[in-house]
Amino acid sequence: MESRPLLYVCVRPQADAAHGEYASFRVATGLDPARLRRHDLVDDPLPADAIERYAGFVVGGSPFNATDPDRSEAQRRVEDALETLAAAAAASGTAALFTCYGIGVVTRMLGGSVTRDVPEDTGPTTIELTDIGRADPVTGVLPTRFDAFTAHKEGAALVPPTAELLATNPACPVQAYRVGDRLYATQFHPEPTGRDFAERMAIYRTAGYFDPAEYDALAGRVLASSVTEPARLLRAFAERFGPR
């Protein structure tokens, strides 16, 4: 029986967004702070013994992009650490679930292509599981078609080598994939409620995801949407790989 906690890995420089995201992950996974710890990778290097100390990792989103032409030293350090976690999970040395920005980092590490040709608008979108996704023990808890929140400027052009496509939609065909049986990546955000997502939108109002003048209309659409299913994915991941 696994007794080590999971670790939420924060890659957001904005403290208020980071606090809100951690709270969203705790609710979605059903884990208390003792069983879902937190590490802010922007401020602190990944502990050398992280893979031994934690049962697995859930990685939040970020305003960083894997395709940023001029990555800062902090972003490069963050991406090096994320690649370390992804490589360990791909080799079955740990379990990890990367979301949004993280799928770009993992795709690049796996030799795939990340492009700005498949962005998605800020708000709810409909996603469909593949046959492999329906049979997967983590994504298979979701309905075949479900709504989730997205807001991204880049995405994977194709499923990278060694990965299996789990979920897709027309706007951004690579919505989720798995490598081996312990590395997962999603383009969509599985953790926020509509209120969580609207609050995050306010923080990133001028970050280029949408016209700031349209915030009220977009936030109203988010708050009126019924996005409830994606959190089940995180609960399944936590039940499969986290503390008992």
- Work out the percent of the chain whose per-residue pLDDT is above 90: 98
Residue 1 binned pLDDT confidence (cut-offs 50, 70, 90): very low
Residue 244 binned pLDDT confidence (cut-offs 50, 70, 90): confident
How far is it, in rounded angstroms, from Cα 159 to Cα 118?
13
Average pLDDT over residues 206-226: 97
Show Cβ contacts of residue 219 under 8 Å, excluding neighbours closer than 6 positions. Answer: 198, 201, 202
How far is it, in rounded angstroms, from Cα 183 to Cα 160?
13
Average pLDDT over residues 117-133: 97
Q: In degrees, to the nearest 5, what angle opens at C-alpha 214 toward C-alphas 211 and 215? A: 100
Average pLDDT over residues 236-244: 94
pLDDT exceeds 90 at position 211:
yes
pLDDT exceeds 90 at position 3:
no
**pLDDT for the residue numbered 60:** 98
How far is it, in rounded angstroms, from Cα 153 to Cα 147?
19
Question: Tens of pLDDT along 167-201?
Answer: 999 999 999 999 999 999 999 999 999 999 999 99
| Domains, the chain, with CATH or none | 6-241 (3.40.50.880)
Average pLDDT over residues 221-234: 97
- Work out the percent of the chain whose per-residue pLDDT is above 70: 99
Question: Tens of pLDDT along 104-116?
Answer: 999 999 999 999 9
Tokens standing for 170? 């027309």
| Distance, CA of 91 to chain centre | 20
Q: Per 3-state DSSP, what percentage of the chain is helix, strand, and coil (rounded to 5)?
A: 35, 25, 40
Please report the DSSP string for 165-185 in residue order. EEEE-SSSS-SEEEETTTEEE
Average pLDDT over residues 28-50: 97
How far is it, in rounded angstroms, from Cα 176 to Cα 120?
14
**pLDDT for the residue numbered 2:** 53
Q: What mean pLDDT is reported for the chain?
A: 97
